[in-house]
Amino acid sequence: MILRFRDGKTLAVLALHPVPPIGKNYTQSRDNYLANLSRHLHGQKKPCTVIGDFNATLWHPPVRRLLNQHQLMYALPDSSMFPSTWPSALPGMGIPIDLCLVDRSIRLLDHQVGPRVGSDHRPLELQYTLE
């Protein structure tokens, strides 16, 4: 999706949700999904953000490749902790698999992990600006 703002700036928003890594086939499918996303990002000219339930942590090799190959960064780089978003029933005990990756033209203004909202995930609430 391309967002166009009143000031003429644009932002490409890619939302994703690969299958969970339950077993060898699903794990391979998730990793292939992330590799295909990488191919889609090649040649992206607009500022972009990639958000969603990655079903993988920030330190998973396919996610690391996305960061490195496309000069993306984790939207919360100055956080001293990675906020756990799943499972929502175990706040503080879960893992951060709901991620927001941004290019370097995006600056985070504020963030928090939202309350439980009837999902097994807790939402990331982010406020950022285009430089």
Characterize the bridge pairing of strands 72-74 and 10-16: unpaired
Query: 34 by DSSP, 3-state: which?
Result: helix
pLDDT digits (tens, 9 = 90+) for 11-51: 999 999 999 999 999 999 999 999 999 888 887 778 999 99
Q: How far is CA 63 from each of CA 8, 13, 59, 78, rounded to the nearest angstrom?
A: 31, 17, 7, 18
Domains of the chain: 2-130 (3.60.10.10)
CA atoms within 13 A on the CB side of 5: 9
pLDDT of the residue at 81: 61
User: CA-to-CA distance for 113 and 45, rounded, in angstroms?
Assistant: 30
Predicted TM-score of the model (pTM): 0.85
Which of 68, 57, 50, 72 is closest to 21 using CA atoms? 57
Q: How far is CA 23 from each of CA 19, 27, 29, 32, 57, rounded to the nearest angstrom?
A: 11, 6, 10, 14, 17
Q: Tell me 51's DSSP state.
A: E
Per-residue H/E/C for 78-111:
CCCCCCCCECCCCCCCCECCEEEEEECCEEEEEE
pLDDT of 90 above 80: no
